[in-house]
Amino acid sequence: MNRCIDAGREGCPCALAEAGNCLVCSRLSGGTCDDCSWQGTCIYTLFEQNGRRIIRERQNRLLPIHEIRAYGPDFSVFVLKADKGFCQKARTAGAFVFVKPPEDHDWFGAPVSVLKSEPERGLVHLAVCACGPKTRRILQESESLSVRGVYYSALSGQGGLLTDPEETFVFAKGVAIAPLRNYLDGGSRYRRQLRNLHLFADLAKTGMDFFRDYFGDLEAGSLEVRDFAREGLCSLDRLDHLEAQCLGRSRINVFALTSPYYADQIQRAVGEEKTILRPTEGNMCCGEGICGACTYNDKNGNVIRRCKSRA
Ligand code: FES
């Protein structure tokens, strides 16, 4: 019943239901209600009541650029004006949107994690690092951006986070640090998952100015700036401590806000049994479970759509 991150949210039933592939409702995927354990509003009924059509799909919306903070030739933060409802949804752990220049085709939409959302001011901050044709085109814009969302599956492992950890280890490299801000701003529900925070940050691609602007409120004692490639993820003492804590099944949370390369290293250090929070792998393209760009087959041969996964 927990297989779809969008189940019960605005936009459900989605295009998968229309195609007969709803991940939650067996009746909408060719079965019966007998094995349904969904506890939210009946998705089948919603679909029927709406004339067997999608209720409301996410649309591109044109958001004016309020400010561009250029931290380097290939890295900027776009501060966009948006309505309060949109900003409130954007202040969710794992929130991301698809962004493109207004005149471009939909396939130029690049998935971008929400860096910061300010519902009270109607502003959303998106950090964009040039890494390919999509992001380079976004960086050329100065008036407005076309934004589709909000989507919620930017992070994997949220279900494995403890609500009252003894310690929290966060490894962050470059722009992948962006989702951390929503954990800091999202109220006690999220903040307590960061108890006794130790943050190891590699700022080589984003710089200290960016860090100061967006994470300057963190206690200096909790922070260690490192070059992961040259110096490793953390000192050997720290790594020994982390391994010992995980082996001893201590109550710790581990965030790997890095590329898969470093996230895999962190996973190996803490052991395969330990669930860590890390960016969802796979190429996010449509975000709706339709295009197949983000899919993989699990060990039973089932097709898993990462964009819809509640992991
Ligand atoms: S991004 Fe298209 S199916 Fe997941």
Nearest CA to ligand 1 atom 3: 289
**CA-294 nearest atom, ligand 1:** 4
282 C-alpha to ligand 1 centroid (Å): 9
- Tens digit of each residue's pLDDT (9 = 90 or more) over 120-147: 999 999 999 999 999 999 999 999 999 9
Mean of the pLDDT values across residues 15-25? 90
- What is the best residue among 97, 98, 290, 297 to mutate for testing ligand 1's pocket, by most ligand atoms within 8 Å of CB? 290
Mean pLDDT of 71-79: 95
Residue in this structure with the two tokens 């720290």, named with its chain if needed: 238
CA of 16 to the centre of ligand 1 (A): 11
Which tops the pLDDT comparison, 65 or 33? 65
Closest CA to 206 of 98, 95, 96, 115: 115
Phi, psi of 10 (to 5 degrees): -55, 135
Candidates 304, 305, 309: which one to mutate for ligand 1, based on the most atoms within 8 Å of Cβ? 305
Question: Over the chain, what is the mean pLDDT?
Answer: 91
What separation in Å is there between the alpha carbon of 188 and the centre of ligand 1? 32
- Could you tell me the distance, in angstroms and rounded to a whole number, from the CA of residue 202 to the centre of ligand 1? 30
Banded model confidence at residue 2, pLDDT cuts 50, 70, 90: low
For residue 35, the CA-to-ligand 1 centroid distance in Å is 26
> What share of the chain has pLDDT > 90, as a percent?
64
pLDDT band at 271 (very low <50, low <70, confident <90, very high): confident
Distance 227 CA to ligand 1 centre (A): 33
Instruction: Please state the domain extents for the chain.
Output: 60-151, 155-279
Measured in Å, residue 288 CA sits from the centre of ligand 1 at 6
Q: What is the mean pLDDT of residues 268-280?
A: 90
Q: Hey, which of 58, 98, 291 would you mutate to test ligand 1's pocket, going by the most ligand atoms within 8 Å of its Cβ?
A: 291
Closest CA relative to residue 222, chosen from 170, 186, 177: 170
Ligand 1 atom nearest to CA at 308 = 4
Tell whether the model's pLDDT for residue 166 goes beyond 80.
Answer: yes
Is a pLDDT exceeding 80 seen at residue 118?
yes
Per-residue pLDDT tens over the stretch 284-295: 999 999 999 999
Give, for ligand 1, the residue of 106, 281, 286, 296 to mutate: max count of ligand atoms closer than 8 Å to Cβ.
286
d(CA 125, CA 214): 10
Percent of the chain predicted with pLDDT > 70: 99
Question: Which is more confidently placed, 193 or 245?
Answer: 193
For 155-279, which CATH class?
Answer: alpha beta
Residues within a 6 A CB radius of ligand 1 = 284-287, 289-295, 305, 307
**In whole angstroms, what is the distance from residue 99 CA to residue 61 CA?**
10
Span 251-255, average pLDDT: 92
Do 60-151 and 155-279 come out as alike in CATH topology? Answer: no
SS3 state at 199: strand
Nearest atom within ligand 1 for CA of residue 290: 3
pLDDT at 1: 42
Q: What are the tokens at 262?
A: 């470093």
State which ligand 1 atom lies nearest to the alpha carbon of 287. Answer: 1
Mean per-residue pLDDT, 66-76: 95
Confidence of residue 246 (pLDDT cuts 50, 70, 90): confident
DSSP 101-156: -TTS-GGG-EEEEEEEEETTTTEEEEEEE--SHHHHHHTT--SEEEEEEEE--SEE
The architecture (CATH level 2) of 60-151 comes to Beta Barrel (2.40)
Give residue 215's pLDDT: 95
Which atom from ligand 1 is nearest to the alpha carbon of 284? Answer: 1
Confidence (pTM)? 0.92
Q: Which residues pair with 144 in a beta bridge?
A: 64
pLDDT at 99 exceeding the cut of 80: yes
The H or E element that residue 61 is part of is: strand 60-72
CB atoms within 10 A of CB 265: 15
